[in-house]
Amino acid sequence: MLNSRTRVILWAQWRSTRNRFPRANQVGVAFTGIMGLIWYGLFGYLSVIAAYLLSSPSELPSLGGAIPGALLLCFLYWQFIPVLTASMGSSLDIRKLLVYPVPRGSLFWIEVALRVSTSIEMLMLLIGAGVGLALNPSVPIWAPAVLIPFVAINLLLSAGVRDLLIRLLARKRIREIVVFLLVLCAALPQALLLNGPRGRLRQIFSGEPAPYWPWNATAELATGKFSWFSVVTLLLWVAVVYFFSRWQFERGLNFDRSEASAAGRSSSRGAGLLEWWYRLPSVILRDPLGALVEKELRFLTRTPRFRLVFTMGFSFGLLIWLPMAFGRNASRHSLLADNYLTLVSVYALLILSDALFWNCFGFDRGAVQLYLLSPVKFGVVLVGKNVAAAFFVALEISAIALVCALLRLPLTGIQVLEAIVVSFVVMLFILSIGNLSSLYNPRSVDPSKSFRTAASARTQAMLMLAFPLALIPVALAYLARYAFDSEWAFFGALLGGGVLGGIVYSYSLGSAVRASEQRREEIITALSRGDGPIAS
Amino acid sequence: MSAAISVRNLRKVYGSKAAVDGLDLEVPRGCFFGFLGPNGAGKTTTIRMLMGLAPPTSGSIELLGLPMPERALEVKGKIGLVPDESLLFDHLTGPEFTEFVGRMYGLDRSVARERGQELLELFELDSEPRKLIGDYSKGMRKRIAMAAALIHRPELFLLDEPFEGVDAVGARLMKEILLEQVRRGATMFLTSHVLEVVERLCDRVAIIQQGRLVLDSTMAELRSGSETLEDIFVRAVGAERPAETLDWL
């Protein structure tokens, strides 16, 4: 049972969550509700299907072989999807709770329970499977209960992995290496499916299951095939992941973020190169715009959260799209291969969008007051932010092109030009919407926390609607290229799109400036807010 | 009776820099102790270590005669904290926050709610019970932190700049409450940049500079000389230099 302090923490979190709602936008809340209903409804449906199939004695023998693979997928989803989506779910804000007389054990178990929030989908499927097995007369009555230790393994391991990742990501230099490795892990399944040794991959899911893995041991027992080896295997796994996650949690409790960030300093040569990069805008632009852009470059380059999305921008997209464009079955001159650089560049815009476009004052938080008080027109501040975004987008495209060149992918000058022009036309439209969104829906973001979703429900909704809209002019340009079979038509249409984007940008900038005057107080208040005892 | 705070050879190293470097400190029970130092001297790091928010690199801490972190749970139950603002929960209202803190310190729900209400009235935070802490002014945030710190009648208070941003009326009220707590036997460990406040409230003062203790004395001893606390502070931290003028200023 929950002890009194655990109940208090959960009560405070419930109140914190409830207190957000009356002030939140009703459309955003409704959108989140609808999307959640569709998403979880889908998994609810799959859960019912699982229950139906597993409850049938005639279906079970044919399904038996697929159960270990299904449990492995469930395990992988539970452990890796939160990492890949950079959404680590709800977690305790340990720093705020450490000052109270709460036993560490209680905090640990709350933290483990909160891991449910990262993969409710998998829990739904396992519940469905459990119900199906319980209704199946050919399965012993105890069999469905073995899914409980499997869930415990997933929860405990997920908590341990999260604590480990958070500490690694707080350390300079190590953080970048970890992110790169995570990106490689993300692309691995797809790369293996398209290019890897097929036999071996198939064997993982369809071959003779190795009995020492928890998903295999669980599958054996859940289908009623009792063996002491499987029981011991499962219990050993529970014990191992318990000690691992407890160890990581204790290390997390004693972890001092200041200490970690103090370690490691860049070399003077690297610092010199960075200084050149920081000073670049001031060479081209006059103050105050130059100073604003320079500040953004300095600030964002030093922000762990931004560095993470920037690294993902040129690595994640490349790896995700690479097998599809240049995989074993792909033609060297397919639509994907011919437009690979452009595709990855536009995808990078999507990854960068939350940090650079939709909520561009999020990292500034309380400091946004300076912009509102300084004797600089607010329009100039917004343009400064947008120019800095353009600098980073240009750098991102250069990084993508460089990696493509290093990988010896087919790359021509015209393709690089196309990627740049397309990205900047798309960016003009995104900036137009993003400037308004940054002022109408500002949200404070902790720049030091790499693994928290920054976007609010409303922002996510806007992202889903705005991004396809921003792509329309570019899509029309590609249509023109296809229809007229002419590069002139393509670049002409892109130019038209750019002009239209410029007009839309100019108009939205004026609206954003007016919004900054009318909503000054709301903006400052929204950007100054922090979290509850449990942050999501 | 053991000291309220006893710190031996305390060190906290960040990278290659020692934020706190071999600090020895003894705060007697029932004392109003002022802990001073220039910016970056190691005050906040020390108070974070005392609160259990940062583990020391080496050295030992005893609070109310109990070793930290071995008896941390017992110690935390006897401490009242007025920390920096980041430890408040912005999406709770004042009554919700005081109730939360009271219950975290083991008070019954009804007692926590009742005491919370009384404290909010005392600190004049009861007029808008539905207002979120995130919408509070800086002074209100310090007052709610102080109200929450008092709810379980702690024996030791760790106060990090408690008067920062508080208006004169609020500050006076807070000072009176703190002095009353000292009279009933509680111990205060106060960091503040406002030397006048320290001079008026504290009966013992320590000054830290570059992580090391450079002065530890009673207020009575300091008052016996002709210097003000400001003069003593400036001399102790080695900041005596002629005011430089800038041509353009």
Q: Mark whether A67 and A216 lie in a shared domain.
A: yes
Distance from CA of B193 to the nearest CA of A (A): 22
Distance from CA of A90 to the nearest CA of B (A): 15
Contacts of B51 in chain A (CB under 8 A): 98-99
Residue A231 Cα distances to A146, A234, A235, A237, A240, angstroms: 9, 5, 6, 10, 14
CB–CB of A19 and B93 under 8 A?
A: yes
Please tell me if residue A530 touches chain B, with a CB cutoff of 8 Å: yes
From the list B86, B87, B135, the residue facing A525 with the nearest CB is B135
**Count of positions (residues) in chain A:** 536
Cβ proximity of B46 and B20 under 8 Å: yes
**Pseudo-torsion of CA A440, A446, A451, A457, nearest 10°?**
-20
Cβ proximity of B143 and B103 under 8 Å: no
From the list B17, B51, B134, the residue facing A530 with the nearest CB is B134
* H-helix or E-strand spanning residue A111: helix A104-114
List, in order, residues 6 or more apart from B168 with CB less than 8 Å away.
none
β pairing state of A91-92 and A534-535: antiparallel
β pairing state of B187-191 and B5-14: unpaired
CB–CB of B91 and A17 under 8 A?
A: yes
Strand partners, B17: B14
> Domain containing A251: what range?
43-261
List, in order, residues 6 or more apart from A354 with CB less than 8 Å away.
A309, A362, A454, A455, A459, A463
From the list B14, B86, B90, the residue facing A259 with the nearest CB is B14
Q: Model confidence over B14-31: pLDDT tens digits?
A: 877 888 999 999 999 999
Q: Mark whether A324 and A248 lie in a shared domain.
A: no
Q: Mark whether A238 and A314 lie in a shared domain.
A: no
Preceding omega of A189 cis (within 30 degrees of 0): no
Distance from CA of A465 to the nearest CA of B (A): 29
Does some domain include residue A133? yes
Contacts of A530 in chain B (CB under 8 A): 86, 88-90, 134
End-to-end CA distance of chain A: 24
DSSP per-residue letters across A455-500: --HHHHHHHHHHHHHHHHHHHHHHHHHHHH--HHHHHHHHHHHHHH
Q: Mark whether A183 and A324 lie in a shared domain.
A: no
What's the CA gap between B85 and B96, in Å, rounded?
A: 17
> What percent of chain B has a predicted confidence (pLDDT) above 70?
97
Of A261, A294, A320, the one marking the end of a domain is A261
What's the CA gap between B149 and B104, in Å, rounded?
A: 12
pLDDT band at residue B232, thresholds of 50, 70 and 90? Answer: confident
**Count of positions (residues) in chain B:** 249
Residue A142, helix vs strand vs coil: coil
Q: Model confidence over A220-251: pLDDT tens digits?
A: 888 888 889 889 999 999 999 999 999 988 88
Distance from CA of B134 to the nearest CA of A (A): 5
Find, among A357, A376, A502, the residue nearest to A439 by Cα. Answer: A357
Cα-to-chain-centroid distance, residue A494: 31
Using a 10 angstrom Cβ sphere, with 0-12 exposed, 13-18 middle and 19 or more buried, the burial of residue B73 is middle
**Residue B114 pLDDT > 90, yes or no?**
yes
What's the CA gap between A297 and A356, in Å, rounded?
A: 11
Contacts of B111 in chain A (CB under 8 A): none
**Pseudo-torsion of CA B46, B51, B54, B60, nearest 10°?**
70
List, in order, residues 6 or more apart from B53 with CB less than 8 Å away.
A95, A98, A99
Cβ proximity of B61 and B41 under 8 Å: no
Q: Mark whether A223 and A343 lie in a shared domain.
A: no
Please tell me if residue A525 touches chain B, with a CB cutoff of 8 Å: yes
Q: Mark whether A323 and A432 lie in a shared domain.
A: yes
Cβ proximity of A224 and A149 under 8 Å: no
Does some domain include residue A224? yes
Q: What is the b/e burial string over A181-200, where b = at least 16 CB atoms within 10 angstroms of the residue's CB?
A: ebbeebbeebbeebebeeee
Substitution target in B63, B104, B156, B157 with the highest count of A β-carbons within 10 Å is B104
Only one residue has tokens 């707590």, namely B181
pLDDT tens, per residue, chain A with 536 residues: 467 777 888 888 778 777 766 555 666 677 777 888 898 899 999 999 989 888 888 777 777 778 888 888 888 888 877 665 545 555 566 777 888 888 878 888 888 887 777 778 888 999 999 999 888 888 888 888 999 999 999 999 988 888 888 777 777 667 667 766 776 666 666 666 655 555 555 555 555 667 788 988 998 888 888 889 889 999 999 999 999 999 988 888 777 666 665 555 555 666 677 777 788 888 888 778 888 888 888 888 877 778 878 887 777 777 777 766 666 565 566 667 777 788 888 888 888 887 777 777 877 776 677 777 777 788 888 888 899 888 888 888 888 888 777 777 777 888 888 888 888 888 889 888 888 888 887 777 776 665 555 455 666 667 777 888 888 888 888 888 888 888 888 888 888 888 988 999 989 888 888 888 777 777 777 777 655 555 54
What's the CA gap between A530 and B141, in Å, rounded?
A: 13
**Residue B126 pLDDT > 80, yes or no?**
yes
Q: What is the b/e burial string over A41-52, where b = at least 16 CB atoms within 10 angstroms of the residue's CB?
A: eebbeebeebbe
Of A234, A261, A288, the one marking the end of a domain is A261
> CA B62, B68, B72: angle at the middle one, nearest 5?
120
> CA A266, A271, A274: angle at the middle one, nearest 5?
120
What residue of A is the nearest CA neighbor of B85?
A530
Contacts of B81 in chain A (CB under 8 A): 99
Q: What is the side-by-side strand order in the sheet with B17-27?
A: B17-27, B5-14, B58-63, B66-68
Q: What DSSP state is assigned to residue B126?
A: -
Distance from CA of A174 to the nearest CA of B (A): 15
CB–CB of B134 and A529 under 8 A?
A: yes
From the list B83, B92, B101, the residue facing A19 with the nearest CB is B92
What's the CA gap between A71 and A112, in Å, rounded?
A: 20
pLDDT of residue B155: 93
Contacts of A99 in chain B (CB under 8 A): 51-53, 76, 81, 83, 87
Cβ proximity of A4 and B112 under 8 Å: no
What residue of B is the nearest CA neighbor of A262?
B15
Does some domain include residue A31? no
Does some domain include residue A515? yes
From the list B77, B86, B135, the residue facing A101 with the nearest CB is B77
Please tell me if residue B151 touches chain A, with a CB cutoff of 8 Å: no
Q: Does the CA dihedral A490-A496-A500-A506 come out positive or negative?
A: positive
Find, among A81, A230, A214, the residue nearest to A158 by Cα. Answer: A81
**Pseudo-torsion of CA A243, A247, A248, A253, nearest 10°?**
140
β pairing state of B156-160 and B79-82: parallel
Q: Mark whether A248 and A385 lie in a shared domain.
A: no
User: Taking the CA atoms of chain B, what radius of gyration do you get in angstroms?
Assistant: 19
Cβ proximity of A244 and A251 under 8 Å: no
What residue of B is the nearest CA neighbor of A532?
B89
Find, among A508, A326, A363, the residue nearest to A446 by Cα. Answer: A363
Name the amino acid, one letter, at B160.
D
Cα-to-chain-centroid distance, residue A16: 24
Q: Model confidence over A313-344: pLDDT tens digits?
A: 777 777 777 766 666 565 566 667 777 788 88
Of A208, A234, A261, the one marking the end of a domain is A261
* More confident: A303 or B160: B160
What's the CA gap between B107 and A20, in Å, rounded?
A: 27
From the list B14, B73, B88, the residue facing A258 with the nearest CB is B14
CB–CB of B104 and A101 under 8 A?
A: yes
Does some domain include residue A390? yes
Residue B78, helix vs strand vs coil: coil
From the list A100, A256, A530, the residue facing B104 with the nearest CB is A100
Please tell me if residue B101 touches chain A, with a CB cutoff of 8 Å: yes
Q: Mark whether A317 and A243 lie in a shared domain.
A: no
What's the CA gap between A320 and A331, in Å, rounded?
A: 17
Strand partners, B36: B207
Only one residue has tokens 């005639």, namely A58
Q: Give the total number of structural domains in chain A.
A: 2
Find, among B194, B193, B207, the residue nearest to B235 by Cα. Answer: B207
Please tell me if residue B132 touches chain A, with a CB cutoff of 8 Å: yes
DSSP per-residue letters across A344-408: HHHHHHHHHHIIIIITTTTTTGGGHHHHHHSSS-HHHHHHHHHHHHHHHHHHHHHHHHHHHHHTT
Size of interface A-B (CB pairs under 8 A): 94
Contacts of A264 in chain B (CB under 8 A): 15
Q: Mark whether A252 and A400 lie in a shared domain.
A: no
Does some domain include residue A296? no
Q: Mark whether A257 and A307 lie in a shared domain.
A: no
Cβ proximity of B217 and B194 under 8 Å: no
Contacts of A20 in chain B (CB under 8 A): 91
Strand partners, B18: B13
Residue A495 Cα distances to A466, A477, A502, angstroms: 21, 9, 10
Q: Mark whether A143 and A206 lie in a shared domain.
A: yes
Distance from CA of B78 to the nearest CA of A (A): 9
Contacts of B77 in chain A (CB under 8 A): 101
Q: Mark whether A149 and A77 lie in a shared domain.
A: yes
Does some domain include residue A399? yes
Does some domain include residue A214? yes
